[in-house]
Amino acid sequence: MFTGIVTDIGEVRGVTRGGDLRARIGCHYAMEGVDIGASIACDGVCLTVVAKGPDWFDVEISAETVSKTSIGHNGWPIGHRLNLERALKVGDELGGHIVSGHVDGVAEIIDLRDEGDSTRFTFRAPEALAKYIAPKGSVALNGTSLTVNEVAGCDFGVNIIPHTKAVTTWGTAQVGDAVNLEIDTLARYVARLQEWKA
């Protein structure tokens, strides 16, 4: 489990294709404290550390994960920057919201504009996921816990403050980018209960 509070920005150093995709990600974590088999959210995708060095770790990415995430849209070119978060430990502060790292689909940035010092982003969600997104609810986008401002059909907006832009990859995001979307777990279960009642 994660909180959607990004703790590092990683960089793709290499990608190889075998039976699955394998990526090497550079980071600033103290890797002696990261075990092989640990989970790290990479742009919101929960991935398992399979090898590590002093300032990098390797992950393997299945074809299923590639097909359901922005990896299948954008790829992970060398130098691509990623929002990173290590798994939540018992007793850690829950500063964002409960995030599983299981991406539900890919949203697209369709507009961004400055509002004061913040930036207003508008995203278009896949139609099947739009019903789970509510004003003042939570979403995880590229692994970042964000609050929804408004919803209009499949489109929804969030404001990203200067601090978030500085410590994540949101400062360089552009219209047309595909982003990993994880809907709020509570919204998913509420919708499922309503389906059972109907």
Task: Encode pLDDT of 7-16 as tens digits.
Answer: 999 999 999 9
Hey, is 31 helix, strand or coil?
helix
Sequence-distant (6+) residues with CB within 8 A of 18 are none
Q: Average pLDDT, stretch 188-197?
A: 70
Q: Has residue 89 got a pLDDT over 90?
A: no
pLDDT (tens digit, 9 = 90+) per residue, 101-112?
Answer: 999 999 999 999
Mean pLDDT of 123-144: 95
Q: Is the model's pLDDT at 192 over the cut of 70?
A: no
Cα dist from 195 to 31, 190, 198, whole Å: 45, 9, 5
Domain 8-86: top CATH class? mainly beta
- Looking at every residue in the chain, the average pLDDT score rounds to 92
CA-to-CA distance for 102 and 46, rounded, in angstroms? 6
Q: What is the dihedral of CA 23, 48, 105, 171, to 10 degrees?
A: -60
What's the mean pLDDT in 123-132? Answer: 95
Q: Give pLDDT, residue 172.
A: 96
Cβ 117 vs Cβ 164: under 8 Å:
no
Whether the per-residue pLDDT at 187 is higher than 80: the answer is no
Q: Where in the chain is the domain with CATH 2.40.30.20?
A: 8-86, 105-197
In this predicted structure, the answer to whether residue 194 has a pLDDT above a threshold of 80 is no
pTM for the predicted model, two decimal places: 0.92
Match domain 105-197 to its CATH number in 3.40.228.10, 2.40.30.20, 3.40.50.300, 3.30.1370.60.
2.40.30.20
